Structure 1
Amino acid sequence: MIDTYNQALDFIHGRTKFKKIPTLKRMRRFLDELGAPDKRVRAIHIAGTNGKGSTLAFLRNILQQDGLTVGSFTSPFLIRFNERISVNGVLISDADITRLAQQVYPIVVKLDDELAEGGPTEFEIITAMMFSYFAEGHADIVLIEVGLGGLLDSTNVIIPKVSVITTIGWDHMHILGDTLPKIAYQKAGIIKDRVPVVVGKIPTEPLAVIKHVAEVKHSPIDILGTDFHVTDTGVTDWHQGFTFSAAKFPKISLQTSLIGDYQTDNAAVAIQAYRVYCQNQDLPVNQESIQRGISQTKWAGRFEKISEHPTVVIDGAHNISAVDEIVKLLDSDFHDKKITILMGILADKQADKMVEKMATVPNVSIVLTRFSGPGKRAAADPKKLEKIVDSKTGNGTVTAVFSDWQRATDTVYGQLSSDGILLITGSLYFISDVRKYLLSKSANCK
């Protein structure tokens, strides 16, 4: 039985993460047993290797400026589980989490008994809770972030008003495939018959896969760089300037506190998704909503400055594609700063390649550490990682290794010069731990 919030979380987190054979049939059966709540939800579905969360945040803020109540479903969470489900950025309550867990629990028990492979996974349960909550009418539109891939992700039961694919890069290759076209095919699985799709900046070969799927599905497709455009105008006082333009739409100048070329790409994808949604729903496209929404968007853990003196930044870059973008940002806008990078990386990622790429930045020193990975997922051993990276780069950029991430954080923080920058990155799970730790230390010092 589930009587409390903690019992609800224990129930959810106690479920299996994956099944041997992925399928949407179990999710469809689960939701049908609950009365098919997904069929009562108006949604925009967002997939992509990187950029899903930031794109969702931009889009949410634009839609809110239009006076809409906007639901969000995101993963993973940084601080509290409740972050996964929110309305206008306000987290779902503990009481609602408990109530929804109580609601799905008997169905889960029933499916455990009836299905040969067992009942729903952890993410399927969370997804079902989300659909059940929003089917109650808490939002005008729900922005749903794919958990993993797209084609067989449990969110992919939804028939959205718009589908969005932000980026295609190297991540989860053991599940999604060992080439970018194979990964793109999985992401393109969210494209539904005649539902428009908005696509970000994607390399030629995987883009061809997405365009083919859209053609087969008779889905109108808008592509960044072809159908809509973004131009960066530089970073000033920790704000990124850029312009957005598209056919039959005036060029507009915008500013966001989420800095980096990749964030302007995400903002452009969000703007185009908003335009497509409004056009298909016969709603006005409000330029002021776009400007205000973009300027007011914040997204924790995305090159987020959590300390001013000294400057400490956290970023959840957790794969080689995301690290590539961080490197470009450091080279272009922080080349005159002394940068210390503290990295904790999961062992099932391309950890050595991520560190090697960071080591190409001329003005950095890298400190490696480890943390407690989620569930059974282990963090990469920093000592082994140092040996691999040094043998390949030979430049001695890795300056220290710590087995304890709290000691590592305290040490590098204490050694930071007044004009230096500390960037903490490598994993969303890692920066979640560090963010809570540093903010709690800051609060205790006041």
Structure 2
Amino acid sequence: MSEYDDDFAEQGQAVYEALLARTGEAAPQPRLEPTRRVLDLLGDPQRAFPIIHLTGTNGKTSTSRLIESILRAYGLRTGLFTSPHLVSFNERIVLDGEPISNEALARNWDDIRPYVEMVDAELAEAGNEPLTFFEVLTVLAYASFADAPIDVGVIEVGMGGEWDSTNVADAQIAVFTPIDLDHVARLGSTIAEIARTKAGIIKPAATVVTAAQHPDALAEIRKAAERDEAVVIAQDVDFELTADHVAVGGQVISVRGRAGEYTDLYLPLYGDHQGQNAAVAIAVVETFLGDGSQPLGNDPLVEGLSEVTSPGRLQLVGIEPTVLVDAAHNPHGARSLAAALDKYFDFAETVFVLGVLGDKDAEGILSVLAPIAARIHITASSSSRSIPVDELAERAAAITVPGLVHAFDSAEDAVFAAREWANEGTSRLVVVTGSVVLAGEILDLAEAEEWKKA
């Protein structure tokens, strides 16, 4: 947020608190009609701009940010909607590369609030739950983008796809990042079931761009696309990452796109998965700007990739010792983290500071990280959904070697102890992971403590 917006900080916080009073994101309502009703009363702001809609299990936010950054480099005014936020609520609604100002947030909230309250009353009269946090947030995002205005909206689903409130919009491009097991209680117990739910974002005559997928997931995507007469553009068939090499601060990649070859592009993100995300993003932008028939101009593409950031994804937040924050919160994310640590970082020992939310596969995450850990500091974020420290430590100890697991009542204590341990030896790394909420709290702490100035 800009410094000139400080005068509106209280108004911005008031908007966030008003949304927090509603049913939270952990318990979304599988419905679209209430969100659609509010937007209808507002004149359908989601129809004021073309939309690129993203779903998947991992990589949604990073891929969204890559797409947005490239489009902005081509001169388009962009809107980016992602969730959850790491530090500031305003991060969720981004206008032309900057989090929405508190002034705009408050102004747009004042515009939509009467209609939100009207639909709340209609729902109550029918004996239904009022609009949830995420339903209202979706309305606020679409209204803010129409008010800006923007040339294109890059919209990340909150959960799933078919009944996610963002799906009230008709996207011309549906994007699928890798699909794996997550949110099984709500989305399904198999990859095929989860993919079927996520494929609900495909709209008639849309174009589908998908990352490389498990065969069961790809089959569901293709089935849904065929039903809606949508074209499928698949990674490793229609486009691919052809090369990636470690570089200072990230990597250098080459991509065979739908319409062109793009070589030696600098990407300031760590991890092979980010190279794959970038290949998807390039294919999406080719599709949006020229229906995949024209290669992208090199200079804007270079600029868009070089300026992209992915907060909370292998983000360096401290030196002496080195501290990384990575919001991996499922086994698939943990595997990407482990692979990136092996390829992009040269440390002899790693301590993981780990906190996991209750609806996540803690054992799956631990089974990936324990073999490469010198220590695991178990803790919990401030979220009420966090697995209690004692419980998580007990579950961790049951599947790891003796002496590996250490429990800390607070995240601050856990990371301070990890930094102390790292400083006592040589070539030691601290990695904070397991939860987006924990990642955000440690980002705040690192900035307050000025760990980068050590």
Measure how far apart 1:146 and its partner are: 0.7
Please say if 1:153 is aligned against 2:164: yes
Match of 1:404 in 2: 410
Task: Give the partner amino acid of 1:114.
Answer: E
Q: Is the 8 A contact 2:353 2:432 kept in 1?
A: yes
Structure 2 unmatched runs, 5+: 1-9
What do the CA deviations read for 1:24-66 (whole angstroms, capped 9, x no partner)? 1111111111111111122111111111111111111111111
Match of 1:256 in 2: 267
Match of 2:371 in 1: 360
Match of 1:216 in 2: 227
Structure 1 residues 307 and 122: CA distance shift in structure 2, 3 A: same
Q: Is the 8 A contact 1:30 1:120 kept in 2?
A: no
Matched residue SS, 2:255 = strand
Measure how far apart 1:369 and its partner are: 0.8
Match of 2:352 in 1: 341
Alignment RMSD (CA, Å): 2.2
Which of the numbers 224, 232, 238 marks the counterpart of 2:249? 238
TM-score (norm 2): 0.91
TM-score (norm 1): 0.93
Q: Counterparts of 2:244 and 2:122 in 1: how far apart (Å)?
A: 58
Structure 1 residues 171 and 444: CA distance shift in structure 2, 3 A: closer
Match of 2:379 in 1: 369
Task: Give the partner amino acid of 2:237.
Answer: T
Which of the numbers 293, 299, 305 marks the counterpart of 2:316? 305
Q: Counterparts of 1:168 and 1:282 in 2: how far apart (Å)?
A: 28
Match of 2:181 in 1: 170
Matched residue SS, 1:222 = strand
Measure how far apart 1:284 and its partner are: 6.6
Q: Is the 8 A contact 2:28 2:132 kept in 1?
A: no
Q: Counterparts of 2:260 and 2:452 in 1: how far apart (Å)?
A: 50
Measure how far apart 1:444 and its partner are: 11
Q: Is the 8 A contact 2:270 2:344 kept in 1?
A: no
Q: Counterparts of 2:97 and 2:234 in 1: how far apart (Å)?
A: 28
Measure how far apart 1:206 and its partner are: 1.1
- Aligned 1:14-413 pairs, distance under 5 A: 14-17=21-24, 22-115=30-123, 116=126, 117-246=128-257, 248-280=259-291, 285-334=296-345, 336-361=347-372, 364-373=374-383, 377-393=384-400, 395-396=401-402, 398-413=404-419
Structure 1 residues 370 and 130: CA distance shift in structure 2, 3 A: same
Matched residue SS, 1:389 = helix
Q: Is the 8 A contact 2:81 2:94 kept in 1?
A: yes
Q: Counterparts of 1:184 and 1:445 in 2: how far apart (Å)?
A: 44
Q: Counterparts of 1:20 and 1:239 in 2: how far apart (Å)?
A: 36
Q: Counterparts of 2:354 and 2:196 in 1: how far apart (Å)?
A: 31
Matched residue SS, 1:50 = coil
Structure 1 residues 338 and 216: CA distance shift in structure 2, 3 A: same
Q: Is the 8 A contact 1:359 1:397 kept in 2?
A: no
Give percent identity, aligned residues only: 30
Match of 2:434 in 1: 426
Measure how far apart 1:281 and its partner are: 9.5
Q: Counterparts of 1:20 and 1:415 in 2: how far apart (Å)?
A: 41
Q: Counterparts of 1:281 and 1:275 in 2: how far apart (Å)?
A: 5
Matched residue SS, 1:169 = coil
Q: Is the 8 A contact 1:258 1:299 kept in 2?
A: yes
Measure how far apart 1:341 and its partner are: 0.9
Q: Counterparts of 2:265 and 2:28 in 1: how far apart (Å)?
A: 46
Task: Give the partner amino acid of 2:105.
Answer: I
Q: Counterparts of 2:391 and 2:248 in 1: how far apart (Å)?
A: 39
Structure 1 residues 281 and 388: CA distance shift in structure 2, 3 A: closer
Task: Give the partner amino acid of 1:97.
Answer: L
Structure 1 residues 31 and 333: CA distance shift in structure 2, 3 A: same
Q: Counterparts of 1:45 and 1:360 in 2: how far apart (Å)?
A: 37
Task: Give the partner amino acid of 1:67.
Answer: G
User: For structure 1, which segment, 102-111 or 210-219, has the greater mean C-alpha deviation from structure 2 after superposition?
Assistant: 102-111
Aligned residue pairs, count: 439
Matched residue SS, 1:360 = helix
Q: Counterparts of 1:105 and 1:233 in 2: how far apart (Å)?
A: 48
What do the CA deviations read for 1:111-141 (whole angstroms, capped 9, x no partner)? 2222221432111111111111111242211
Which of the numbers 404, 416, 421 marks the counterpart of 1:415? 421
Q: Is the 8 A contact 2:258 2:286 kept in 1?
A: no
Q: Counterparts of 1:28 and 1:267 in 2: how far apart (Å)?
A: 32
Q: Is the 8 A contact 2:260 2:294 kept in 1?
A: no
Q: Counterparts of 2:451 and 2:319 in 1: how far apart (Å)?
A: 15
Structure 1 unmatched runs, 5+: none
Q: Is the 8 A contact 2:15 2:105 kept in 1?
A: yes
Q: Counterparts of 1:355 and 1:168 in 2: how far apart (Å)?
A: 20
Measure how far apart 1:389 and its partner are: 2.9
Q: Counterparts of 1:403 and 1:225 in 2: how far apart (Å)?
A: 46
Task: Give the partner amino acid of 2:408.
Answer: F
Q: Counterparts of 1:73 and 1:229 in 2: how far apart (Å)?
A: 26
Q: Counterparts of 1:380 and 1:235 in 2: how far apart (Å)?
A: 36
User: For structure 1, which segment, 315-324 or 134-143, has the greater mean C-alpha deviation from structure 2 after superposition?
Assistant: 134-143
Task: Give the partner amino acid of 1:68.
Answer: L
